[in-house]
Chains A and B, each alone.
Chain A
Amino acid sequence: MSHTIIDTGGSRSFPTDHALLEGAVDDGDVVIIIGTKAGARLSDAPDGKVAVVVELGTECLGVHTGEAGGDEGSNVIGFARFRLGESDPTDLVELVRQPNTSPEAIDAARAAFESAGLVVAVCNDFAGRIVDRLIRPYYNEALRQLDQGLASAKDMDLTLKLGLGYPEGPIELLERTGLSHHFEVAQALFEAYGEPAYAPARRSRVAMLRGE
Chain B
Amino acid sequence: MAEFKTVGVAGAGTMGAGIAIVAARAGFETVTFDLKVEILDGARKQTAAFFGKSMERGKLTQEDVDAILGRMRGTTSLQDLGVCDVVIEAVFEDLDVKQELLTGLNNLCPAETIFATNTSTLSITEIAGPSGRDDRCVGMHFCLPAQLNRLVEMSPGLNTSDETFEMAWSFCEALGQIPVKTKDSPGFILNHFLIPFNNDVVRMVDAGVAEPSDIDKAIKTALGYPLGPCELLDMVGMDTQRLVSEALHGASHDPRAACPALVKKMIAAARLGRKSGRGFFDYDGPAMFGA
- A interface vs B, CB < 8 Å? 82, 90-92, 94, 119, 121-124, 126, 129-131, 133-135, 137-138, 141-142, 145, 149-152, 155-156, 158-160, 162-168, 170, 197
Closest 3 CB pairs of A and B: A121-B218, A123-B210, A162-B151
CB atoms of B221 and A92 under 8 A apart: yes
Whether B208 and A124, one on each chain, are in contact in the complex, defined by CB atoms closer than 8 angstroms, is yes
Question: For A90, what are the chain B residues with a Cβ–Cβ distance below 8 Å?
Answer: 221-222
CB pair A92 B222 closer than 8 Å: yes
B residues 154-203 near A (Cβ < 8 Å) are 178, 180-183, 185, 188-190, 192-194, 196-197, 200-201
CB neighbours (8 Å) of A150 from chain B are 182-183, 185, 188-189, 192
A/B interface sample: 22 pairs, CB < 8 A:
A121-B218, A123-B214, A124-B208, A124-B209, A130-B210, A130-B215, A133-B209, A134-B219, A137-B196, A141-B193, A142-B193, A151-B189, A155-B181, A158-B178, A159-B153, A159-B182, A160-B190, A162-B151, A163-B151, A164-B225, A166-B224, A167-B225
The distance in angstroms between the C-alpha atoms of A90 and B207, with both chains bound, is 26
Cβ of B290 under 8 Å from chain A: no
CB < 8 Å neighbour of A119 from B143, B196, B215, B217 = B217
CA distance A168 to B178 in the complex (A): 17
Distance from A83 Cβ to chain B, minimum over Cβ atoms (Å) = 9
B104-131 vs A, CB cutoff 8 Å, 1 = contact: the mask equals 0000000000000000000000000000
B221-A134 in contact (CB<8A): no
Beta-carbon contact of A131 and B223 below 8 Å: yes
In the assembled complex, the Cα of A152 lies from the Cα of B180 at a distance in Å of 9
Contact A122 B201, beta carbon cutoff 8 Å:
no
Asked if B227 is at the interface of the complex by the 8 Å CB criterion, the answer is: yes
- Contacting pair A152 B214 (CB below 8 A): no
Complex Cα gap A166–B150 (Å):
15
- Known contacts A155-B180, A164-B225, A145 near B192 by CB under 8 Å: yes
A121–B149 touching, CB < 8 Å: no
Which B residues are in CB contact (< 8 Å) with A166?
223-225
Q: In the complex, A122→B215 CA distance in Å?
A: 9
Task: Return B289 CB to nearest CB of chain A, in Å.
Answer: 14
Chain A residues with CB under 8 A of B151 = 158-159, 162-163
- Residues of B with Cβ closer than 8 Å to A? 143, 149-151, 153, 178, 180-183, 185, 188-190, 192-194, 196-197, 200-201, 204, 207-211, 214-215, 217-219, 221-227, 229, 256
Contact: B182 with A134, CB < 8 Å?
A: no
* Contact residues in A for B226 (Cβ distance below 8 Å): 164-165
Contacting pair A130 B189 (CB below 8 A): no
Residue of A nearest to B200 (CB): A134
On whether the beta carbons of B222 and A155 are closer than 8 Å, the reply is no
**B256 and A137 contacting across the interface, CB-CB below 8 Å:** yes
Q: Kindly identify which residue among A82, A134, A158, A160 contacts B204, using a CB–CB cutoff of 8 Å.
A: A134
Within the complex, the shortest CB–CB distance from B168 to chain A, in Å, comes to 16
Nearest-Cβ distance from residue A152 to partner chain B, whole angstroms: 7
Query: Judging by beta carbons under 8 Å apart, are A122 and B196 in contact?
Result: no
B181 touches A121 (CB 8 A): no
- Which residues from chain A contact B224 at a C-beta distance below 8 Å? 166-168
Give the distance in Å from the alpha carbon of A122 to the alpha carbon of B216 in the complex. Answer: 11
Bound Cα distance from A131 to B190, whole angstroms: 20
How far is the CB of A14 from the nearest CB of chain B, in Å? Answer: 16
Which residue of chain A has its CB nearest to the CB of B154? Answer: A155
> Shortest beta-carbon distance, B150 to chain A, in Å?
6
Is B193 within 8 A of A152, CB to CB? no
**B193: A residues at CB distance < 8 A:** 138, 141-142, 160, 170
The answer for the CA separation of A174 and B81 in the assembled complex, in Å, is 46
Q: Which residues of A contact B229 (CB under 8 A)?
A: 134
User: Which residue in B181, B197, B218 is a CB contact (below 8 Å) of A138?
Assistant: B197
Please tell me if the beta carbons of A124 and B210 are within 8 angstroms of each other in the complex. yes
Give the complex CA separation of A192 and B42 in angstroms. 51
Pairwise interchain contact A160-B150, C-beta atoms closer than 8 A: no
